[in-house]
Structure 1
Amino acid sequence: MTIKLSPRLVLLLLALLLLLLGLSQFAPKATLSFVGQPSQTFSRHYLARKALFDQAREQSTVAFVGDSLTEGMPWQQILPNTTTANRGINGDTLPGLQNRLDSVFATEARCVLVMMGINDLMQGESVKQTLASYRDVISTLARRHPRIVIQSTLLTTNDQLNQLVVELNEGLRQLASEFSNVEFIDLNTTLGENHRLRTSYTMDGVHLTNEGYSVWQQQIEPVITLALSTP
């Protein structure tokens, strides 16, 4: 038996199909809750990276922890004589990092370098709350790893945002001084100029060019060497 559809019905079905296809682009992100924190919505990229970290469980000498700036750096290539773990996730915030600290612990790294905070500020979090979240992360890491290096949150080309970044870094410098095994390194002394990220080191006002990454590498290499030589 042949079913005949009127032209009007065909158009209605086609419109419904297109509507459904369009809505699929806006499917909700996964929402997870963890102890001591409100519900957090994580991107698929975050969940995929976290799952990869949880499965890897490789031991390393140095672990790099952060957001897209950290994820985008091929740490093992630039430090070929040191086993490294890249624990960077594009778009991550401090609550997101708190949710995945186990994957940092699992590396058993002797030195952990952390750079976070810019996404928190860009999403409207206050400097006070960002510092409070940072304190929770650092105090936890400092109990599990011999050396912790807080890398300054990088300046941007947005002057209004940079006011918050400068305030945050002042707080991070103070935070590091409260722990015997934590130090603060100000990357903005070389990557920044006049309280702004140098335009020659950035592709979009936030993320670094290859030249910017090279400057970052040169600044942290002696810090890592010293940290690993300290008993």
Structure 2
Amino acid sequence: MSTSAKTFPIWAFFSLLTNGILMLAVILLIWQQQRLSAFFGIVTSSESINLNNSPQIVTPDLGRRHQLTYQEWVDILKQEAKVASDQHPGHLSILAGDSLSLWFPPELLPEGKTWLNQGISGETSNGLLNRLKIFDRTQPEVIFVMIGINDLIRGMSNGVILDNQRQIINYLQKTHPTAQIVVQSILPHAAEEATWKGKDKLLAVANSRIRELNQQLQSISTKKGVKYLDLYPLFTNKQGNLRREFTTDGLHLSPEGYIVWRSALQIYGEIELKSQRQNPSGEKG
């Protein structure tokens, strides 16, 4: 059977994405040698984000959210999503997830988009699934999902986590049929080097298990026809644990860690734009 040209764009996309990640890994090694902290200073002083410059969506006071109950948190996200749905800002991208998404510095999010952060600290896959309806009326171009580490810490089985992930994908595909859905891999933790207050629970989750879960998550994403962004290898050291310079406590990310994530989002965006130009009809192979 001859190879169909229609299948090329998808395979090309994954090939380009892999090459981009490898390229990014090399760049990160160079950054490390030149001190990431110095680079971070340059980035934060020279870049701005549409969210901060736009009256449509107000950047939340993240520090205040430490004192909020879960329901109070949800209520704030509802208000922010309502503003986005009422104003219809251009090039809307949504971050859906837990504290890793929540604490993404607004000034480090890729430019040229309006970002709506729908992260909640301590969130689980079931919690996220139950509150996806909050931003039903928004019209995002892209929805980035990262969820699962808190499920693992709380002792949830891989089967339950993956089933929730399937339901999340199904819901987003049905509710936002024109949006790109990007499932992001679960990040590693720093193992014995972690200083997070829940270290014992964290150590009960082997990074090898996270890798296996990510492989299954990638398979699900492929079957569902959504994008999968593998961030995991960008954050690991030789032992397969979260690199010290990319974390504040072995679980949460440092500014340098968010620079890595930002770079991956930028490369993904560039690859996706090229893919769209090559396949403007949006046909799937």
Q: Give the TM interval when normalised to the shorter protein.
A: 0.7 to 0.9
Q: Which residue of 154, 160, 179 corresponds with 2:187? A: 154
Separation of aligned partners in 2, 1:92 and 1:170: 22
Whole-angstrom CA distance in 2 between matches of 1:224 and 1:106: 24
Instruction: Tell me the equivalent position of 1:118.
Output: 149
Match of 2:76 among 52, 69, 76: 52
Distance between the aligned counterparts of 1:101 and 1:69, measured in 2?
Answer: 17
State whether residues 94 and 117 of structure 2, in contact with CA within 8 Å, keep that contact through their aligned partners in structure 1.
yes
Report 1:149-228 matches (<5 A): 149-158=182-191, 160-161=204-205, 162-180=207-225, 182-193=226-237, 194-227=239-272
Q: CA, structure 1 residues 78+69, in 2 after alignment: closer, same or farther (shift >3 Å)? A: same
Percent same amino acid among aligned pairs? 31
Structure 2: 5+ residue runs without aligned partners?
1-66, 192-202, 277-281
Which of 108, 117, 121 is the equivalent residue of 1:86?
117
Per-residue deviation, 1:128: 1.2
**Alignment RMSD, CA only?**
2.0
Residue-by-residue CA offset, 1:2-60 (whole Å, 9 max, x unaligned): xxxxxxxxxxxxxxxxxxxxxxxxxxxxxxxxxxxxxxxxx943212211122231145
Which deviates further from its counterpart, 149-158 or 52-61? 52-61
Larger mean Cα displacement after TM superposition, 109-118 or 75-84: 75-84
Task: Classify the secondary structure of the residue corresponding to 1:62.
Answer: strand
- Indicate how the Cα distance of structure 1 residues 205 and 178 shifts in structure 2: closer, same or farther if over 3 A, else same: same
Residues 69 and 207 of structure 1 are in contact (CA less than 8 Å); yes or no, is this contact kept in structure 2? yes
Q: Which has the larger radius of gyration?
A: 1
Distance 2:273 2:167 in 1: 24
User: How has the CA–CA distance of structure 1 residues 113 and 191 changed in structure 2, closer, same or farther, with 3 Å as cutoff?
Assistant: same
Matched positions, count: 188
Highest RCO, 1 vs 2 (Cα 8 Å, sep ≥ 6): 2
Structure with the higher fraction of residues in helix conformation: 2
Structure 1's unaligned 5+ residue stretches are: 1-42
| 8 Å contact kept, 1:67–1:91 | yes
Contact 1:111 1:224 in 2 (8 A): no
| TM-score (norm. length: structure 2) | 0.61
Aligned to 1:20: none
Alignment of 1:16-55 (within 5 A): 44-55=68-79
Alignment check: 8 A CA contact 1:113 1:151 kept: yes
How many Å separate the matches in 2 of 1:171 and 1:97?
19
TM superposition shift of 1:76 = 6.0
The residue matched to 2:94 in structure 1 has which SS? strand
SS at structure 2 position matched to 1:207: coil
- C-alpha displacement of 1:222: 2.3
